[in-house]
């Protein structure tokens, strides 16, 4: 599978995105030949975390969310991290971007606490997804069906539970992102 010619957006909070959930999907897209654009609320660099509390590395932000639209991209990755996901879901601009990806039925891959943005965007009605277990009630209250599985694909939404699921998550997101709009689920 190749992502040649595909442009994929990946969100990162100014501080608090879980580093492996950011780095591994980003690297999987690049390894498959895709172009990654790192999007955040602020310009400059964004600091990741490990295990929610330990400082990770800083990554250069390519674009601020206020300056992008879903039309520019073929897919979206939403990493987890409790702190980072909570910051991102508090932004109406980020929620609007996620909502636009969902409305356009473009692939969205969200892991761990990342599905909180799908809840906020109203993108889970009648969708089967997984996440970190503590999001189950939020997902069900948003009309979604929560399951405890390594990776779940429901139409164009790809979800996983935690960093242990990253190999399967990355494999499936590359597979789904590689499909042309005509062959997408």
- Marked catalytic residue, from 8, 61, 112, 135: 112
Helix (H) or strand (E) holding 22: helix 19-31
Determine the 3-state secondary structure of 80 from DSSP: coil
Bridge pairing between strands 15-18 and 45-50? parallel
- Marked catalytic residue, from 113, 127, 161, 172: 113
- Count of residues for the chain? 185
What are the tokens at 88? 């991102």
Q: Is 113 in the active site?
A: yes
Q: Counting Cβ atoms within 10 Å, is residue 184 exposed (0-12), middle (13-18) or buried (19+)?
A: middle
CB 124 within 8 A of CB 142: yes
Q: Is 112 in the active site?
A: yes
Active centre residues (catalytic): 112-113
């Amino acid at each position: 599978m190749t992502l040649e010619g595909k442009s994929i957006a990946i969100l990162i909070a100014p501080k608090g995105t879980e580093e492996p959930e950011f780095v591994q999907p980003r690297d999987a897209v690049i390894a498959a030949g895709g172009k990654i654009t790192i999007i955040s609320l602020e310009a400059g660099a964004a600091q990741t975390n490990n295990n929610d509390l330990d400082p990770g590395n800083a990554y250069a932000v390519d674009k601020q969310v206020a300056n992008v639209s879903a039309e520019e991209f073929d897919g979206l990755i939403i990493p987890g991290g409790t702190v980072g996901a909570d910051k991102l879901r508090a932004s109406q601009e980020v929620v609007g971007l996620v909502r636009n990806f969902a409305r356009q039925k473009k692939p969205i891959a969200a892991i761990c606490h990342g599905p909180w943005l799908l809840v906020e965007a109203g993108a889970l009605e009648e969708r089967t997804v997984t996440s970190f277990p503590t999001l189950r009630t939020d997902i069900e209250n948003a009309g979604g069906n929560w399951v405890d599985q390594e990776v779940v694909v429901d139409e164009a939404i790809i979800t996983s539970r935690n960093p242990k699921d990253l190999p399967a998550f990355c494999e499936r997101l590359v597979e789904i992102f590689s499909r042309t709009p005509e062959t997408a689920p």
